[in-house]
Amino acid sequence: PYTAFWIHDRDGEFLSWSQARASGLAAAVRHLAVTAAKEEGLPEEWIKRFVAGHVERGDNNRLSYLALPTTGYRLRHCDTSTVPDGEIRRVMIAEPWGGTGLNARWLRERLADKEIVSERGDFAGRLVPIPLGDSDIFDGILGLYMRPSRCWATVTPIVLPGEDQNLRGKRLDLVRRCFAHAGLPYPVEFRLLGGPTWRGSLAGKYVVPPYLKGFPLVHLRVEFNQPVAGPIALGSGRHCGLGVLAGCDVPLEVG
């Protein structure tokens, strides 16, 4: 269960965030969600754990805030919101696997038209709910992150859950842990990539939260036995805007 928003300016036009600041956008939206929950008078411990994500490592019973870069392929009749330039114009709040959807629907109502504030305290966008239903009808870019697919590839890099000492075997072991931590089926195949494959994705320069600094960032492509529906996010940054994958059973532009 999830809810998703377009990021607009005050005139109703798309406003973009740099992909390098994906974690900053996730933090800004999380702040809005925490504020809404406090205004509602919800239990403080629940807000701290489920909404703000202050949980023990490996605890997935929390909301995920996913920045969705405009990437993939050029859509027919595209406008500036669908050109695959890697800029972020959409953000998603996802419940844990098995969630009821009640919290996503509540946040959809409470955060509609709320203004995002940048790290510097400036206006950085207004949240406009994307219509629910067939994501390909309402928003083709959102569809890339949601439609069932056997093959997926990272758009933003995965933050590995530990140091790899530049050893390939250690790195592969850490990647395997990412699937277990996310509660995903183990893929029949995965391949580490030297960089991003999606058009518009950055090769580096990502800002990561202080507690993730120093951990390796990797890109990969995975294949499952059967189609898996999104959203899919992996790694230690999967709840805060990083490690987001898009389905690639659609034309994939390399560049």
The pLDDT mean for the chain works out to 87
One-letter amino acid of 23: S
> pLDDT band at residue 255, thresholds of 50, 70 and 90?
very low
How does pLDDT run across 65-123, given as a tens digit for each residue? 999 999 875 444 344 555 678 899 999 999 988 888 899 999 999 999 999 998 888 99
Q: How far is CA 65 from the centre of its chain?
A: 6
- With 0-12 / 13-18 / 19 or more C-beta atoms within 10 angstroms meaning exposed / middle / buried, residue 245 is buried
How does pLDDT run across 51-65, given as a tens digit for each residue? 999 877 667 789 999
CA 133 to CA 136: how far, in whole Å? 9
For the chain, what is the total number of helices (H) and then of strands (E)? 6, 11
93 near 25, Cβ under 8 Å? no
22 near 242, Cβ under 8 Å? yes
Percent helix, strand and coil across the chain, each to the nearest 5: 25, 25, 50
Q: What is the three-class DSSP state of 110?
A: helix
**Closest listed residue to residue 161, CA positions, set 218, 221, 203:** 218
> pLDDT band at residue 136, thresholds of 50, 70 and 90?
low
Which pTM value belongs to this model? Answer: 0.88
**Closest listed residue to residue 107, CA positions, set 58, 69, 50, 148:** 50
Looking at residue 97, its pLDDT comes to: 80
> pLDDT band at residue 135, thresholds of 50, 70 and 90?
low
Looking at residue 83, its pLDDT comes to: 67
Say which residue the tokens 């995903």 belong to: 184
Q: Which residue has the higher pLDDT, 187 or 133?
A: 187
For residue 152, pLDDT over 70 is answered with yes
Alpha helix (H) residue ranges in 84-243: 102-111, 135-138, 140-146, 168-182
CA 94 to CA 113: how far, in whole Å? 19
Mean pLDDT in residue range 27-55? 95
